[in-house]
Amino acid sequence: MELKLKARQRSETGKSAARKMRNEGEVPAVMYGHGIDPRPLTVKKEELGELIHGRAGTNVLIDLQVLDGKDKTDHLVMIKELQRHPFKEKLLHVDFLKVARDEKVIMKVPISINGEEDSVGLKAGGTLQHNLWEVELECLPTEVPDHIFADISQVQVGEHLVIGDLKLPAGVDIVADLEDVILTILAPRLAVEGALTEEEVAQAKEEAAAAEAAASPESGGEE
């Protein structure tokens, strides 16, 4: 079941018009896709905020009711892009992608990290370096996940987790390069000092391996 949201057709464009809309409690928007020309719209800030901050998140089907004078049309859309102010809690612009239930779409989905408490690399003193925070996926609109989990429990010090390592729900395909690095567990000294020589990196890895062995139950150390 999709959520409902009202929008209004707008004719004003440009930065000054957008600033005026935001001052009046509205968010500039555009709707495109599925064979239609881009349509400039505006939505109420409060209504959009309630929708995206609800449990459904942003990757949800929306029944968008567009008012254009006396005309009223309904469109099945998803939020393709949401622009926020970099410092303030302020919505700047939203892109709506018109979709069909039986046609696949490409959407960006957040990557969430799990397994930190059990991570062998972090227990060995490594530091998590996060490179990618989202991934592009292709699937039916009704199957877009809220997020994809990246499990770091078995990632060793000095190892990477790449997009190809992600486990996806059935019917969901990755669009991005499978070799793109999501995260790295940095060796302890590498994380502190930055660039090291190959000899120093090798020494840091040996120290991390020794620390991991001392921390394992078999060695008699504490977990």
Q: What is the pLDDT of residue 221?
A: 37
Q: What is the pLDDT of residue 35?
A: 82
Pairing of strands 105-114, 148-151: parallel
Asked which of 32, 67, 99 is the last residue of a domain, the reply is 99
Q: Are residues 81 and 120 in the same domain?
A: no
Q: Are residues 16 and 83 in the same domain?
A: yes
Q: Are residues 68 and 152 in the same domain?
A: no
Q: Are residues 131 and 65 in the same domain?
A: no
From first to last of the 223 residues of the chain, give the pLDDT tens digit: 678 999 999 988 788 888 899 999 999 999 999 888 999 999 999 999 888 886 556 678 999 999 998 899 999 999 999 888 777 778 889 999 999 999 999 999 999 999 999 999 999 999 999 999 999 999 999 999 888 999 999 999 999 999 999 999 999 999 999 999 999 999 886 555 555 556 655 666 676 666 555 544 443 433 3
Number of domains in the chain: 2
Q: Are residues 125 and 195 in the same domain?
A: yes
Q: Is 195 helix (H, G, I), strand (E, B) or coil?
A: coil
Q: Are residues 44 and 7 in the same domain?
A: yes
For 52, 63, 82, 130, 141, the CA distances from 79, given in Å and listed in that order, are 9, 11, 7, 25, 11
Q: Are residues 21 and 78 in the same domain?
A: yes
Q: What is the pLDDT of residue 84?
A: 85
For 101, 121, 125, 212, 222, the CA distances from 209, given in Å and listed in that order, are 51, 9, 9, 5, 15
Where residue 174 sits, what CATH number does that domain have? 2.170.120.20
Q: Are residues 68 and 131 in the same domain?
A: no
User: In the beta sheet, which residues pair with residue 63?
Assistant: 4, 76
Where residue 37 sits, what CATH number does that domain have? 2.40.240.10
Asked which of 37, 64, 99 is the last residue of a domain, the reply is 99
Taking the C-alpha atoms of residue 198 and residue 206, their distance in angstroms, rounded to an integer, is 12
Q: What is the pLDDT of residue 220?
A: 41
Q: Are residues 172 and 202 in the same domain?
A: yes
Asked which of 65, 99, 133 is the last residue of a domain, the reply is 99
Q: What is the pLDDT of residue 198?
A: 62
Q: Are residues 76 and 159 in the same domain?
A: no
Which runs of E-coded beta strand occur in the chain?
3-9, 26-33, 36-44, 62-68, 71-84, 91-98, 105-114, 127-130, 134-139, 148-151, 160-162, 173-174, 181-186
User: In the beta sheet, which residues pair with residue 186?
Assistant: 127
Find tokens 């190809």 and name the residue. Answer: 164
Q: Are residues 46 and 126 in the same domain?
A: no
Q: Are residues 132 and 87 in the same domain?
A: no
User: In the beta sheet, which residues pair with residue 67?
Assistant: 8, 72
Per the structure, the complete domain to which residue 37 belongs is given by 3-99
